[in-house]
Chains A and B, each alone.
Chain A
Amino acid sequence: MANKGLKKAFFSSSEFYLLLVDIALVLFLTAFTGGKFIQFTNLRSLVVGYSALGIIAAGVLVVIISGGIDISFMAIATIAQYAMAQYMLRSGGNFVMIILIAVAVGSFLGCINAVLVYYIKAPTLIITLATMSIFDGILLWATKGVKLFGFPDWFATKTAASIVLVPIGFLVVVFLITWYILRFSKMGRKIYAIGGNIEAARRMGVNILKVQLFIYAYVGAIAAIGAIVQCYLIQQVALNDMVGNEMDVIAMVVLGGVALSGGKGNASGTVLGMLLVAILSNGLTLMKVSSYYQDLVIGTVILVSFCLTGWKMQQNSKKASMRGKLEDEQS
C-alpha cells in the first residue's frame, strides 16, 4: 500500500514534471543540433562548465530548506580555494590534505555565518550579504588579486577520463551524502522542522544554534569541495572564477522545487533543477544563441515554472477544500 502511495506521489510531484522537461529538452536539443548535443566533446564541456556549481547547489539546498539563504558561499569557496592552492604550491600536498584544508576553511567560515544568524536574528540574506562583502574584501586584501597556477603534477595531470569522472564522482558523492542527511539523519529532519516552524522546533527542544551551525558549516564545506573541483578543471585560482555565479546556483535549487520560504524540497529535485539549468545554458550556446539572450531565456524559464507551480498549488488547495465540503456533507 505504501508502495502504491509512493508511486502515485511520484507521478504528481514536481520532480516528475521536471524530469519530463529535462528529457524533452535533451531530445529537442539532440534533434535540433543534429546529434551534436550528445557528442562526447559537448557532454564534457557540460560537465566542466557546471559540475562545480552543481556540487555547491547541494549545500545551498540545505540552507534554503531551513528557511534561510546564504549568498556568501562563493566567497567562502574562493577563500577555501586560495587556502588549498597556497598549500599545494608551498608543500606539494596530497589529495586528502587539500580536501581537509578546503573543508576546514569552508566550514569555519560557515560557522561564522551561523553564529551571526543565530545571535543577530536579522534576515539571513542581509547577514550573508554582509559576510560576503567581508570575505571578498579580505580576499582582495590578502591576495592582492594575484592568480595562482602551476600546481604540482599529481593535481595538474588530467586525462580525458579523469576530467569527466572526477567532477561527476564528487557530484554523485556530495548529492548522495546530502540526500542521506536530509532523509535519514535526525539533523536533517531538524533542518526541515526549522524550515517549517522554527518556534515549534525550539519548543520541541531542538537546539537551534547547533542546527544552524551544522547548516552553514555544511554549505561552507560543500562550497569548498565545489571549489576544489573547479580548481582541478581549470587549473588556476582567481578572484572572479566563482564569485558572481551565486544566482545560477540558487536558480538550480529553486527550479528543483525548493520553496524559498523553507521546509520543502529534496536532493533529487535539486539534481533535476541543476540539470535543467546546465542543459539549457549549454543548449543555448550550441544553438548559437548569443550570451546576451541566455540570461533572458533562463529568467523566463524560472518565471514560467513558478507560475506553473503556483497554479498547481491553487488547484490542489481547491481540490482539498472541495473534499472537505464533501466530507462535511456526508457526515
Chain B
Amino acid sequence: MLPDGKHPPCVKMVMSLMPEKLLEMVKVNKHYGGVHALKDFDFELFEGEIHCLVGQNGCGKSTLIKIISGVTKSDEGSQIVMYGKTLGNIRAKHANDAGIKVIYQDLSLFPNLTVAENIAFSLNTEKGIKPVNWDEIYCVAKSTLEKMHVNLELGREVSTLSIADRQLVAIARALATNAKLIIMDEPTSSLTRKEVNVLFSIIRDLNQKGLTVMFVSHKLDEIIEIADRITVMRDGSKIGTFKKEDLNNAKLTEMLSGQSVAYRQDFSKAGDKVILEVDKLSNGSQYKDVSFQLKEGEILGVIGLLGSGRTEVAMSLFGMNKPDSGTIRVNGKQVNFKNNREAVGTGIAYVPEDRLLQGLVIDQNVEDNLSISIIDRICSKIGLVKTKEKRQLTENWIKKLNIKSALPEIPASAMSGGNQQKIVISKWLATEPKILILDQPTNGIDIAAKSAIYDIIRNLVKNGMSIILISDEIPEVYYNCPRAILMHHGRVVKELDCRTLSEDAFEQEVSYGQ
C-alpha cells in the first residue's frame, strides 16, 4: 500500500489479485538461554493460503508457532507485522483477537465433556455471571459442525471418540471462536490414510471459504498434497519458502536433512531356517486365518492400515493377546504363551507403536528405562540392583545405537522422538531377542533419525536376528523388507516380493489390496 493510502486504479486492480498479508515477520530472533532457536527468521503468511512448515525435530517450528500465537516473546529487535499493524511482539490477546488459533498436537480437548461443550467452550469463558445456556452451546456446536459438513453426535463424551473425530472437534472449536488462521501442529501423526483424506478435504473446504491454514508435519507426501506454499526450516533458520509446484518429495528430503536420499534397498541374505511359523491364527473379530513364516536373519514387512489387525497379531505373538485358534511355532516348537514374560523367555521382543504410552516410562531417566526389561539379570542374589553394571549396560547401548546427546541421567521426556525410539529399541535389544517385532518404529520422527533406525535394523539382521517390521508407510517397508505381507480387515491379503517389484508396482499392489 502507498503511504497516503490512495491507489491509482490500475494498481488497485493488481492489489485485488494479490492476496493480503496476514502476517509478516522480519529478522525474528529467539534465544532460550544459550540456544539460538530462531535465527533472523523472515516469514510471510498470506490470507487464504495453506502454508506448510517443515523441518526436523528441534528446528524451531514450535518456537515459531509459540511466537505467532503469543505464548512466547521473540527477542528485542524482531519485527512482526500483523494485518498491516507493526508490533514488536505478539501478545496472546492480540493473537486471539486476530483469530489466530493453534491446534496443538495433544488437541487440548476436555475428554470428560461432550462434543458440544468442547466446541462451544469459549462461551463458558466469557465474562459475566450469566448462567450457562445449554441450548446456545448445542446450537453453536451444531452450526459449526454443519459449516464443516461433519456429522458428530453432539452429546457424546469426547473420550469415546476416535483420534480422528477428536481432531475434528478441535478444528470445530477453533472455528467456533471465529478463527481466521488455524495453526495445526502435526495433525496427521496418529491418523490412518483414510482419516487423513477426510481431514484434508475439510481443510480444503474451509480454505475455500477464506480460512488461512498453517500446517506443521513430518510427512512429506502429505505436505505436498495439501500445501499452497511450503517453508522449510533447519536449525532455526529458514532454508526457503517454495510454491508446491516447485517441490517434490526428494527435493524436500534433501533440503530438510542437508543430505539426499534416505532410502535405498540393501537386503542382506536371509538364512534358510524358519524361526517363526504362524499357521491359521485367528482371534475373534480381530484377525482371521493369519499364516506366515519368518526366516532367520530376515526382515518381514507387515503392511496394513491402523485397524487392519496388524498390531493385534503382533500382540498375540508377544503373548499379550491370546488367540482363539491356530498355532505359533518358534524354532519348530509349538508355543502357547500365557503372558509376555514367556514370550521374552523364548526370545521374542516387541517394540510398541506408541512409545509414549507403552514403551517408555517418560519421567524416568534413560538408564532406568533401558534396564527395566532385564532388571532381573543385573540384580545381585538378594535382589538389589548392581548399579555399576546398569550404568555400563546403558553406556554400551548409547554408544552402540549412537543415541546422540544422551546421558544415562537425563529423563526420557527431555529427548527427541527419534532418540526416544532408539531407547525403546535398545531396551528390548538388551533382552537379546532372536525375533524382534517393530510396530511403526519411525512414527513421528524425522528423516535423519529414521535412516539411523533403518541402519540399526539392517545391522541386527546381519548378525542373525529376525525382524518383523509393521508399518503403513510404503517406502519404509519397500526399502527395508525383501518380503512383505499385506493385511486388511484382519486377514493376510497377499505376500509381496520387494526384490522383484518396482516401488510403483509395490504401491499399486498395496493400494489395490486395501
Contact = CB atoms under 8 A, between A and B. Distances in A.
B349 to A, nearest CB: 26
A263 B108 contact: no
B110 interface: yes
Interface in B98-112: 104, 106, 108-112
B109 A185 contact: no
4 closest Cβ pairs, A-B complex: A263-B112, A200-B108, A196-B112, A196-B110
Contacts of B130: 186
A192 B132 contact: no
Interface of B: 96, 104, 106, 108-113, 117, 121-122, 124-126, 129-132, 155, 160, 162, 194, 285, 307, 489
Contacts of A2: 155
Given A204-B121, A204-B125, A328-B307, A184 B112 contact: no
Contacts of A324: 162, 307
Contacts of A192: 110, 112-113
Contacts of A203: 104, 108
A197 B131 contact: no
Contacts of B125: 186, 190, 204-206
Nearest to B159: A196
A320 B159 CA distance: 11
A196 to B, nearest CB: 4
Given A193-B110, A263-B111, 14 more contacts: A2-B155, A5-B155, A186-B129, A186-B130, A189-B117, A189-B132, A192-B110, A196-B110, A197-B108, A204-B122, A206-B125, A316-B160, A325-B307, A331-B194
Contact of A200 (B109, B160, B162, B307): B109
Nearest to B108: A200
A167 to B, nearest CB: 28
A193 B113 contact: yes
A176 to B, nearest CB: 14
A322 interface: yes
Contacts of A263: 110-113
A256 interface: no
Nearest to B192: A328
Contacts of B160: 316-317, 320
Contacts of B121: 189, 193, 204
21 contacts: A183-B132, A184-B132, A185-B131, A185-B132, A190-B124, A190-B125, A192-B112, A193-B110, A193-B113, A193-B121, A193-B124, A197-B110, A197-B111, A204-B125, A205-B96, A262-B112, A263-B110, A263-B113, A325-B307, A329-B489, A331-B194
Contacts of A283: none
A325 B508 CA distance: 25
A44 interface: no
A295 interface: no
Contacts of B112: 192, 195-196, 262-264
A320 B155 CA distance: 15
Interface string A185-218: 1101110110111011101111000000000000
A189 B124 contact: yes
A189 B112 CA distance: 11
Interface string A269-282: 00000000000000
A263 B160 CA distance: 14
Interface string A1-22: 0100100000000000000000
A98 B113 CA distance: 38
Given A192-B113, A204-B121, A204-B122, A184 B489 contact: no
Contacts, number: 70
Interface string A245-263: 0000000000000000011
A328 B111 CA distance: 23
Contacts of A325: 285, 307
Contacts of A193: 110, 113, 121, 124
Interface in A282-331: 316-317, 320, 322, 324-325, 328-329, 331
Contacts of A188: 132
Contacts of B124: 186, 189-190, 193
Nearest to B138: A2
Contacts of A206: 125
A5 B124 CA distance: 24
Contacts of A264: 112
Contacts of B96: 205
A265 to B, nearest CB: 10
Contact of A196 (B104, B111, B131): B111
A193 B124 CA distance: 10
Contacts of A317: 160
B307 A196 contact: no
A206 B123 CA distance: 11
A148 to B, nearest CB: 38
A184 B132 CA distance: 5
A263 B112 CA distance: 6
A34 B104 CA distance: 63
A186 B307 CA distance: 39
Contacts of A185: 129, 131-132
B426 to A, nearest CB: 31
Nearest to A319: B160
B404 to A, nearest CB: 29
A328 B162 CA distance: 12
A186 B111 contact: no
A264 B160 CA distance: 14
Contacts of A183: 132
Nearest to A316: B160
Contacts of A196: 110-113
Nearest to B104: A203
A160 to B, nearest CB: 39
A312 to B, nearest CB: 14
In this complex, which of A196, A262, A263 has the most chain B Cβ atoms within 10 angstroms of its Cβ?
A: A196
A193 B123 CA distance: 13
B319 to A, nearest CB: 20
